[in-house]
Structure 1
């Protein structure tokens, strides 16, 4: 059961450290066009845990960049620092963040639980397994793959719209047969400045 999936435990200091490092990572990338160098062993055991995260940048409440990892493959502190810089300069939906804009961004970090594969034989059966506002969703068909974080539920009217928009984002046909679609759900521990 997904609700039993443990979240990484991050205390207030861990969260503030990650947010500060993400901001510093963005500044270093914008000023020097390089990655922020960190020593993962200098941080708490919680931040050294292998975990996947997304870093979302907003200006005045509007999306300005979002990059993340769906699979845990490195320490959380390293993943967050990398994704923050990438969100500022590598999100193909937006031009590179400017130094003027950097002063106005809000940073949100979403740490993912391990995705759980969903079994379904119809779109309705897939949608029944999702809890709006709580579950993120990954879909895949062939080489096409995309995800929506749980926060995306706030901008869509319901489950059908959530899935339809995600299919569009992935480039997957709306009328795809269920057996040609693979899906996973996950949850996030999210925090922001």
Structure 2
């Protein structure tokens, strides 16, 4: 389901407003989803990625739909700015330089495969986001990661590392799910 340009802009404003609110108040902007169009009230999973000068500044999201999309984006934008453990909390001086990118995920579907080679053959570079899970270890790469990891073997190897496994790990109990994303970015 693709959102209209107007709804995409609303979501970008919600993300930006939630970060600004966080700078002033220390928590995400409270959103009443009923104040928004039905398409963004629907439960959907999302990630919010923040960049400054094309460098990652924070990225937080949900792999499963747990709350209305507009609420998910407000919460994830705040968390990406202030709670991503890889970065210090966003400062007021950084705020005007932020580029906000929203990824809205389709529901994830399990991929059936009988070997690593079979899995690699089924991957769709540039389209698939992947979730890898082995026991209590789990990681994901959004489809946008294909821009920097263009080869399926490399993509899979790096996802294993992100999931807390070794790059050459393989097991018959490994689970891999795929999803697609609708991307929304500010025009600059």
- TM-score tier by shorter-chain length is over 0.9
2:115 corresponds to which residue? 122
1:13 corresponds to which residue? 6
Moved more, 43-52 or 27-36: 27-36
Gaps of 5+ in 1: 1-7
SS of residue paired to 1:77: helix
How many angstroms does 1:29 deviate by? 1.1
Conserved? CA contact 1:123–1:178, under 8 Å: no
How many angstroms does 1:9 deviate by? 3.1
2:38 corresponds to which residue? 45
Quick one: which of 180, 185, 188 aligns to 1:192?
A: 185
Query: How many residue pairs get matched?
Result: 186
How many angstroms does 1:192 deviate by? 0.3
2:58 corresponds to which residue? 65
TM-score in terms of structure 2 length: 0.96
Conserved? CA contact 2:2–2:182, under 8 Å: no
1:97 corresponds to which residue? 90
Conserved? CA contact 1:58–1:65, under 8 Å: yes
Q: Deviations over 1:4-32 (max 9, x none)?
A: xxxx3310110000000100101111221
Q: Which runs of structure 1 show a deviation greater than 6 angstroms over 4 or more consecutive aligned residues?
A: none
Conserved? CA contact 1:120–1:178, under 8 Å: no
Conserved? CA contact 2:158–2:167, under 8 Å: no
SS of residue paired to 1:138: strand
Distance 1:39 1:167 in 2: 38
Distance 1:52 1:147 in 2: 13
Conserved? CA contact 2:18–2:77, under 8 Å: yes
How many angstroms does 1:143 deviate by? 1.1
Gaps of 5+ in 2: none
Q: How do 1:1-193 residues align onto structure 2 when only pairs under 5 Å count?
A: 8-193=1-186
How many angstroms does 1:176 deviate by? 2.4
Distance 1:99 1:123 in 2: 46
